[in-house]
Chain A
């Protein structure tokens, strides 16, 4: 049985595990992770981010692609914290049932929960959900590949 480790990672520590950097590092904290099982954390949303002024000028909304990227990166944390996968690169290959249930706007905090469903060789299937104030904001089924 995997032991639950209460790992708190800030953005600097996250960057030790995943190669994403500004302007495409889309998670701020990892609050809980069981390597190979799940990862939880969050991303703060601020008007001071590059995509809000252009999506859209008078109505800033977090793009769907960025919401998906947040979920992918959190699921990746569940993968790359596994001893065999540390420093490995993980790429997304497929997404299904991606839904956006509410707008995510500056000032929100997007809480992400990502869990691994299955690992088959280099392919990892998982699901992730994002919440704002406890309300479901986005979800997706994801297939990632460990390179």
Chain B
């Protein structure tokens, strides 16, 4: 299990926009399992006048995108490099996430080639699927290495 210090080695994001607590399993370049605890003591539960505070849909996407990058960010060739989020598809929220919940996220790399990444992430609360997304990102510094050079 990796600590938040390890997560900060991979992700350049910081509070209040680093939304992972712990890496539980990691297979470089392939897949990862992480979790995030949710507490009333977080800003994201206090940004709406709606009394039933739940994690916003777009922050669920943000969490999934932070997680699915980890197997690639942990590769030696990607350390220190900044990925650019390109697209997401089939982003779904199946249930609500509330203070006191623990979100377990599993992400799988589907394709990693020449700086282009596609993958899938799913989030569970108490074993129930609550969110999922397919995503694509690019690492421009790596992709540019494969561009044809002018002769």
Could you list which residues of chain A lie within 8 angstroms of chain B, going by C-beta atoms?
Answer: 19-25, 50-51, 54-57, 59, 61, 63-66, 68-69, 72, 89, 91-100, 103
Contacts and interface: CB of A to CB of B under 8 A. Distances in A.
B82 A59 contact: yes
B93 interface: yes
Given A51-B17, A98-B89, A56 B49 contact: no
Contacts of A25: 47
Nearest to B88: A98
Given A56-B82, A94-B93, A95-B88, A20 B48 contact: yes
B26 interface: no
B47 A22 contact: yes
A59 B81 CA distance: 12
Contact of A66 (B50, B58, B88, B89): B58
Interface residues of B, number: 31
Contacts of A65: 58-59, 61-62, 65
B56 A23 contact: no
A59 B13 CA distance: 11
Given A54-B18, A68-B61, A95-B88, A23 B13 contact: no
27 contacts: A20-B47, A20-B48, A20-B49, A24-B48, A51-B17, A54-B18, A55-B12, A56-B12, A61-B84, A63-B62, A64-B85, A64-B88, A66-B58, A68-B61, A72-B58, A91-B57, A94-B90, A94-B92, A95-B57, A95-B61, A95-B91, A96-B91, A97-B87, A97-B89, A98-B89, A99-B87, A103-B84
B75 interface: no
A61 B75 CA distance: 23
B56 A24 contact: yes
B14 A54 contact: yes
Contacts of A50: 16-17
Contact of B87 (A20, A51, A100): A100
Given A95-B88, A98-B91, 11 more contacts: A19-B48, A21-B48, A54-B18, A61-B84, A64-B85, A68-B61, A72-B57, A92-B57, A94-B91, A94-B92, A95-B91
